[in-house]
Amino acid sequence: MGGERRCGEGGRSGQTSDRENGEVIVAPSRATLLRALGVTILVVTAIPVVRHYLIRYPVEIWQVDLEVYREAARALVSGFPLYDVRTPPPQFLPFTYPPFAALVGLPLAIGSFTAVGWAWTVLQLVLLWVTVGMAFRPFLDRFGDRRGLVQGLLASCGVLTMPVLEGIRFGQVNAVVVALCLADVARRVPEGGLRMPRGVLVGLAAAVKLTPAAFWVHWAVARRWRTLAISVGTAAGVTLVTALLLPAASARFWTDALLDPERLGPNAGTSNQSLRGVLLRVWPGDPGLGTVLWLVLVVLVGGAGFWLSARLDRLGEPVAVVAVVGLVALLVSPVSWVHHYHWCVVVVAVLLGDGRRWQGVAAATVLSAALWARLPWLGLSMLEGDLPRWIGRTAQNGFALLAVAALAMIWWLMVRTAERQPRSCPVTTNESDRPAWQRG
């Protein structure tokens, strides 16, 4: 009379089935149960974060960046000039993004701001789970049925990093931008499977927030002309449609608001972890000469970074491409707030790899520790203490310095290693010779 356990169709769907008295009883597989446990760990880890920033946080500074998008959407509905919008006191934050971002944000104007803030936080956590699953794939593949559990542990560690915490605190859009770019560049598509042309998601992301346009430079250097054309065409298309719908706002953004970095806030503050932010804090000389030095650094870092991303592209390392392009964008942008460093979720994954090289494990651990320790703010507190100022300054600029170090480490771990290994077959840039998931 005992039920007979079988692994047929149910086994392929991640379930097992029992037959008793002609009835089929479907039971979750071990992998499904462990994945559920991983999700539970992520949720439990996020509870104190959510409680702090969504329940106990002062109303006047609650989800202030999400409020920027919401106020922009409400301005479109009411007809108020988009780039004259300011959030309520005491922040008075302006809308600093392309007009297309306001159109995309129209759903944020529906319902109460409280409901919108909670929904946006849940979305960020879901996208963190997805990003970890894509970025850490080589490491997760080692764990078989336990993959979902390990993914939950990694995602819960990610929740506690400063960029992700700040994204939840402010209601930021970085989780969406990183997930879109990673899905576009690094997703795997089976042969013959239907897929969106590569470049579309990056184009949409760049039309919302300009930082992903750094991938256009990468594709140009890597000679991925088709992907570049699709991505630029996507961004140009939605931007043109937006200009037809919002001509005044579009003209204001592209001729005025875009050219004013001060709209973003005090550029010399600790939160700005771009090369320009570092120079504004440490450069003692003439501001004009400091600007020249910044431009020189942009050329040097950008040139080296895009050479590295193109080399990784040829090696078939799309996740590493996303990490490197994200780091370059953070460094060369005039303003890169600490929450923009959400790209470091992908960077840690690339440094870790499959977890078999101690150098990669050590580098991933150091970067993670800096992200957990809120290094820039730790440095700012050191400047007020008795330690030598250079120690405090180094820590204050820690995210930018670690971004440069991470680029060097990715080169050492992946490109240098590949160049020193004998190749059984030549590396090719011919699109037809690449697996489907790597093709532009």
Looking at residue 20, its pLDDT comes to 53
Query: What span, in angstroms and rounded, lies between the C-alpha atoms of 372 and 109?
Result: 34
pLDDT at 313: 96
Tell which residue, 282, 262, 230, has the closest CA to residue 396: 282
Looking at the DSSP assignment, which residues form a beta bridge with residue 17? 6, 26
Q: How far apart are CA 322 and CA 328, in angstroms?
A: 10
Sign of CA dihedral 172, 375, 178, 50: negative
As a whole number of angstroms, the distance between CA 411 and CA 305 comes to 10
Structure tokens at 4: 């007979």
SS3 sequence, 231-298? Answer: HHHHHHHHHHHHHHHCHHHHHHHHHCHHHCHHHHCCCCCCCECCHHHHHHHHCCCCHHHHHHHHHHHH
Three-state DSSP state, 267: coil
pLDDT tens, position by position, for the chain (440 residues)?
444 444 444 444 455 555 555 565 556 798 899 999 999 999 999 999 999 999 998 887 899 999 999 999 999 999 999 999 898 888 788 898 999 999 999 999 998 999 999 999 999 999 999 999 999 999 999 999 999 999 999 999 999 999 999 999 999 999 999 999 999 999 876 555 557 899 999 999 999 999 999 999 999 999 999 999 999 999 999 999 999 999 999 999 998 878 776 666 678 889 999 999 999 999 877 888 889 999 999 999 999 999 999 999 999 999 999 999 999 999 999 999 999 999 999 999 999 999 999 999 999 999 999 999 999 999 999 988 888 999 999 999 999 999 999 999 999 999 988 877 765 544 444 443 343 334 44
Domain boundaries, the chain: 32-424
pLDDT at 25: 59
| Side-chain half-sphere exposure of 211, counting CA atoms within 13 A | 28
Q: Rounded to 5 degrees, what are φ and ψ at 23?
A: -100, 145
Residue 405 token pair:
């170090």
End-to-end CA distance of the chain: 57
d(CA 319, CA 27): 35
Task: Give the Cβ contact number of residue 432 at 10 Å.
Answer: 6
Strand arrangement of the beta sheet that strand 4-6 belongs to: 4-6, 15-20, 23-28
Helices then strands, each counted (H, E), the chain: 22, 3
Neighbouring residues of 202: CB distance < 8 A, sequence distance ≥ 6: 180, 181, 184, 185, 212, 215, 216, 231
Tokens representing 49? Answer: 């974060």
What does the block give as tokens for 164?
Answer: 């992700």
Two structure tokens written together for 46: 């996020």
Residue 220 neighbours by CB distance under 10 Å: 15
Find where tokens 């489907």 sit. 436
| Residue 90: cis peptide before it, omega within 30 degrees of 0 | yes
Q: Which two tokens stand for residue 208?
A: 């919302």
Across-strand partners of 26?
17
- Specify the DSSP element, H or E, that contains 70: helix 64-78
Look up tokens 């919008």; give the residue: 85
- Tokens 């106020």 map to which residue? 71
Q: To which residue do tokens 């897929």 refer? A: 195
